[in-house]
Structure 1
């Protein structure tokens, strides 16, 4: 059962189309403007708490993606790439700080772009002063976590788009018992649909509980 459900859970590629905007309309407008060819600003800094969609947007941007949480030294920094995204910059070690400092200076000089994300604004991250100053010199936007009502509406809309009739109480149950990020919630809706078809069983609360307990 467990392996079946893991196989059914999709590895959806983050895109702007499958990002649930919620209270982030200003962020998305600013981000799209920065991504356009008209923008000459080399740096975009996005901050917000876990689950606010920062990583989704970084991966959807088309930039070469690096994650300081798994590579604090930024040892994988690419050469000759004009657009780089660094996630979780607050997890950088000393070598990573130097790599980001040098990388940003190079991108700026060559007309490239740097996209960074962290849990806090530049002034509050625990990085060396010259790097914090550079990170604070670009566009700075906060990513807002979706409210439960926004998540519920998004789940219902995604289910409806697949032709699913979720039973009463299903959305509330998901919000109470499932991972609360939209990526996981959307994946569970897809897995629920596929599991229902695979087992030829209607979607009911007991089936939803079975899926969640198995994953």
Structure 2
């Protein structure tokens, strides 16, 4: 069956650029070959937006954020344009698009060794919107080839907040409840696990 070069069905993306978006480094779309899937590990959009607007790098006036956010209801928000380098995955930002899936994850006990289980499943609406977004990105960015979880790319350890002798993975998202077995084949992207 020939691969279609026509645009995918209409995807509604709500543009909500971060205040510092124009200060993020510009890049050509051909530099992008990777999508990184994240989990917000926050309870709502208000807190997620506030976290994204925080300035963590005063010299540039920028912070940490993904490009896209997908709510439990499947709504898609764009905080950073594709041609800007968002700060979402250490050492992988220049070549990747970051997609944040709303999910409580380990909130609010991220660093507590007694609360490391992910207990909330991703919704069908979220996964459908993610797949529609991935189709749109593949159409818009022909160099896109790979998909990875934040947990695949950032394997650093840090002491647990409740016991410094216990070392925990800093990043465990999107976590064990993310349906990789469905997303990878449907996305047409190869899973990258360095």
Scaled by the length of structure 1, the TM-score of the pair is: 0.31
Q: Which has the higher strand share?
A: 2
Larger Rg: 1
Question: Per residue, is there more helix in 1 or in 2?
Answer: 1
